[in-house]
Chain A
Amino acid sequence: MEKIHLSQGAGGEEMNELVMKIIDKINIKSDWVLGGDSAHINIGSDNLFFTSDSYTVDPIFFNGGDIGKIAFCGTVNDILMSGGKPLGVSLSFVIEEGFEHLSKIIDSLKKESLKYNIPIVTGDTKVVEKGSLKGIIINTSGIGIGKPFNKEIVEGDSVIVSRNIGNHGVALLASRYDFETDIETDSKQLVEEVDSIRNYVKLAKDATRGGIAAVLNEISEKINIGMELIEEKIPIDKKVKKMCEILGVNIYELANEGTMIVIVSKDDEEKTLDELKKFNQTVSVMGTISKTEKNRVIIKTKIGRKVLRIPTGNIVPRIC
């Protein structure tokens, strides 16, 4: 494999390709079903789910959360998005010599673990020389049990987003660039949300790195079908929108840590909305599955139409 570029970790097209290369290179056949937010394997009447994720974030503490919170919620959510109920999480740290905030991060991990009694059951710590990484890297893995979501997706199905988007990315960028704002990360375990709509879900995915732009394109490619979104129906907080304009970043490409995309049949749309509204009023049907737009995600704006591109490169603020 050639030299690794920063953009191969940004959640866009380059990262997908790198992951595919790694998978192809390993290529060991097994009964595990791969490709979702977590892998799963049939164990009698149920399925076992397994996922792993490493977390590095700049800055480590930001409005409404920290690296510990997203490390726990992210892995739990990856189990949930595939249909599993999380049973336990592992926790590993790689810490830079001289790091001073570990205790605060552990408090935050513990708080999340207690919330739904998903225990942290195993782990590891390593300390590396000053300068060999920036502060701390956390890896969490998780296992879960349940039935994978696998209903067939067809034209006319509804594409729902569970809440307004972009808050995490903006909270992070604001902290990074010293903008004062009360916008907080959306980081959250989606345990109750998924439980409430389990029967309706055809596909669920949390819109993390690369934002809805990456996730919707990924879905559309995977199921070999297109989507048509209505821009006005994509929920965005006014303050978040303004901040994106000031920062010059594309909100659709910003990471979320507690926001999911759910595809349900048109018939289940109302019921799904009613349930998700209990958790966040901004839930919205932002579009539908469309065959005419094969493998593309189209957004209808007030004025015309545009393609929602899969992000490439790193997210950088515009300068003009």
Chain B
Amino acid sequence: MSLKKINELATKLGSVNIMEVCGGHTNSIIRNGIRDAMPKNINLISGPGCPVCVTTQKEIDEMINLALNGVPVATYADMIRVPGTKMSLEEARENGADIKAVYSATEVLDDKNRVFFGIGFETTTPMTAKLLENDIAVYSAHKLIPPGLLALSTDKRVNIDALILPGHVAVIIGEQEFPDLNVPQVITGFEPENILESIKIILDQLVEGKKEIVNNYKGVVTKTGNGKAQKIINENFKVVDSDWRGLGTIPSSGLEPKDDNLNAKIKYKDILGKTITKELPGCRCAEVIIGQIRPSECQLFGKVCTPKNPRGACMVSEEGACQIYHANRN
């Protein structure tokens, strides 16, 4: 039903760029063929909500360097294939570094000597906070969605007419935490019907000239979010400025452990300080992440950069825009 309505509404609008912020949405959109079903003038753009994609080259290189210097490291399995300047964590492991790929941060709860490379947004942060509570050192690349959105909306390179807001993040932080960005924004779940409904709500708003934040994940997302999760984050982390791949440094958009003794960046300052980072020549992931170019506009795309041999982060993850485009190329 929504699809019919979307087609109708689209005829009343020019070209519309809707960004789905969350990698989970990108996944559902692709899995259900939603992108393919959109009218020609409705562009769904994958945003910076893929944790692997926004983690910077420097952060990855520092973790590789740490592991190669004999410090046992753990991180999410998704992360270990992302290429650093010289190699990926996976290649470092092949060279003898002790790197554990985990499904859940809690798998290293009893591993006091290991450094956990914490990545992701408000959804994965509570688990990392749990590790800090248990005196496990963390290298934090955790980022916060609301300041990220704010930076995105004020970035002159970005041209976005509306946002599909991440449902899982909203469960944690609550409806009230999303900043007003002067475009329609809809908090959305992950079922295809729910996503279509949200696109319809966005187009409705655009037709009527409205710019509201709507919660279309009712019953799951509340006004104030999950207090317990917020508490454990606040108790163990402090807000700091953070670098995002593609977006640069965003004020108050990252988290570091409150306890310096558990902050791997401080604890291993000497090793990390010697890390050499160089941006990969030719890689345009940064522009892809903010929707400035399409993956196929990158010269490396499909030639030297493929899912099997990724050169940039966006080609690694199943949610990465480049990998998705690669699969659907003709």
Contacts and interface: CB of A to CB of B under 8 A. Distances in A.
B77 A316 contact: yes
Contacts of B318: 250, 318
Given A318-B318, A320-B22, A320-B50, A303 B37 contact: yes
Interface string B287-310: 000000000000000000001100
Interface stretch (A25-33, A57-65, A152-160, A305-313): A305-313
Given A14-B308, A319-B51, A299 B103 contact: no
Contacts of A317: 77-78, 103
B50 A304 contact: no
Interface in B118-148: 119-121, 123-124
Interface in A263-320: 299-307, 309, 312-314, 316-320
Contacts of A319: 51-52, 76, 78, 119-120, 124
B24 A303 contact: no
Nearest to B123: A320
Given A312-B307, A313-B307, A316-B77, A305 B36 contact: yes
A305 B33 contact: yes
Contact of A320 (B34, B51, B81, B94): B51
A318 B94 contact: no
Given A6-B90, A303-B192, A313-B307, A320 B33 contact: no
A37 interface: no
B94 A5 contact: yes
B71 interface: no
Contacts of B37: 303-304
B91 to A, nearest CB: 8
| In the complex, the 7 A-B pairs of residues with the closest C-beta atoms, listed nearest first | A304-B33, A304-B37, A304-B36, A316-B77, A301-B33, A312-B307, A309-B327
A3 interface: yes
Contacts of A3: 94
Interface of A: 3, 5-7, 13-14, 177, 247, 250, 299-307, 309, 312-314, 316-320
Given A318-B23, A319-B51, A320-B49, A301 B120 contact: no
Contact of B36 (A7, A250, A306): A306
Given A309-B327, A320-B50, A320-B51, A303 B78 contact: no
Given A5-B94, A303-B3, A313-B307, A320 B168 contact: yes
23 contacts: A5-B90, A5-B94, A247-B103, A299-B33, A300-B33, A303-B32, A303-B33, A303-B34, A303-B192, A305-B33, A306-B31, A306-B328, A312-B307, A312-B308, A313-B81, A316-B76, A318-B317, A319-B52, A319-B119, A319-B124, A320-B22, A320-B166, A320-B319
Interface residues of B, number: 43
B101 interface: yes
A320 B23 contact: yes
A293 B226 CA distance: 47
A318 B30 CA distance: 15
Contacts of A312: 307-308
Contacts of A316: 76-78, 101
B319 A318 contact: yes
A227 to B, nearest CB: 15
B192 A314 contact: no
A312 B81 CA distance: 11
Main secondary structure of the interface of A (DSSP, over half): loop
Contacts of B31: 250, 301, 306
B149 to A, nearest CB: 15
B16 to A, nearest CB: 18
A220 to B, nearest CB: 14
Contacts of A6: 90
A305 B35 CA distance: 9
Contacts of A302: 32, 192
A301 B32 contact: yes
Nearest to A173: B103
Contacts of A304: 32-37
Nearest to A315: B77
Nearest to B95: A3
A317 to B, nearest CB: 5
B242 to A, nearest CB: 17
Contacts of A14: 308
B252 interface: no
B27 interface: yes
Interface string B37-57: 100000000000111100000
B124 A320 contact: yes
A13 B50 CA distance: 24
